[in-house]
Amino acid sequence: MSEQHSPRTSGAETFGKAVGHLYLGGPANVSWEQALEGLEGGEAERTPNHLPHSVAQIVAHVQFWQAHLLATLDGHHPQMPEHAGDGWPLPDDWVTLRATFLRDAARLRAVARDPERCAAPDSRGVPLAAMLTNYAGHSVYHLGQVVTVRQALELWPPPGGGDTW
C-alpha cells in the first residue's frame, strides 16, 4: 500500500509516517539495521585513527537520548545531563546495546506514526511532534557518523549491501 498523502490521510498521519521513517534511518540513506549489520563486538568497539568515536560509542550515545525521550513520553521526568559529555555513556555489551537500540527506535517510530500522540502537548505546551522530529534528526545525524566510521575501518558496505552511488 502506498504511503503517499491521499484524501483519507490527514496531515498528521502523513507527518507521522515521514518522521517515523527517520527512526529507521530515513528514505535517502541506509537504515540503522543496515548500518549495524554484520558488526561484531570488537569491530563495533574500534575507533579509527583521526575519528573521535567507535560505532558502539555512537550507538550508546543515540540510545541514551532515545531512552531519555521514551521516559519523557512515558510521563517520567528524566534529568537532563549537566554537560554534553554526560550524554555519551560507555557502551554496554554490543549485542545487548544493538538490540536495545533497535527496539527503542522501533518504539519511537510507532509513537511518531501515531497522530494523537504527535499532537499531544509536552509540559511546555509544544506538540510532541516537535520533540520527535528533533530526536529523529539527531539519530540520522549520528547514523551518518556510523557509516563514516565503518568506511574508515574498511567495514563498509555491510554484508547485505549499502548505498554506493
Distance CA(5)–CA(133), nearest Å, equals 19
CB 149 within 8 A of CB 48: yes
Higher pLDDT, 89 or 31: 89
Instruction: Work out the number of other CB atoms within 10 angstroms of the CB of residue 85.
Output: 9
> Is 83 strand, coil or helix?
coil
Instruction: Name which of 123, 129, 107, 9 is nearest 63 in CA terms.
Output: 107
Mean pLDDT of the chain: 88
Specify the pLDDT at position 68.
Answer: 96
Cα angle: 81, vertex 84, 90; to 5 degrees: 85
**Phi, psi torsion values for 121, nearest 5 degrees:** -80, 150
**Peptide bond between residue 27 and the one before it cis (omega within 30 degrees of 0):** no
Specify the pLDDT at position 108.
Answer: 93
Per-residue pLDDT of 6-63, as tens digits, reads 455 567 677 667 777 777 766 677 889 999 999 999 999 999 999 999 999 999 999 9
Specify the pLDDT at position 7.
Answer: 52
CATH classification (class only), 30-152: mainly alpha
- Domain coordinates of the chain in residue numbers? 30-152
Per-residue pLDDT of 90-114, as tens digits, reads 998 999 999 999 999 999 999 988 8
Give Cα 103 to chain centroid, integer Å: 10
Specify the pLDDT at position 2.
Answer: 44
Specify the pLDDT at position 12.
Answer: 66
Specify the pLDDT at position 44.
Answer: 98
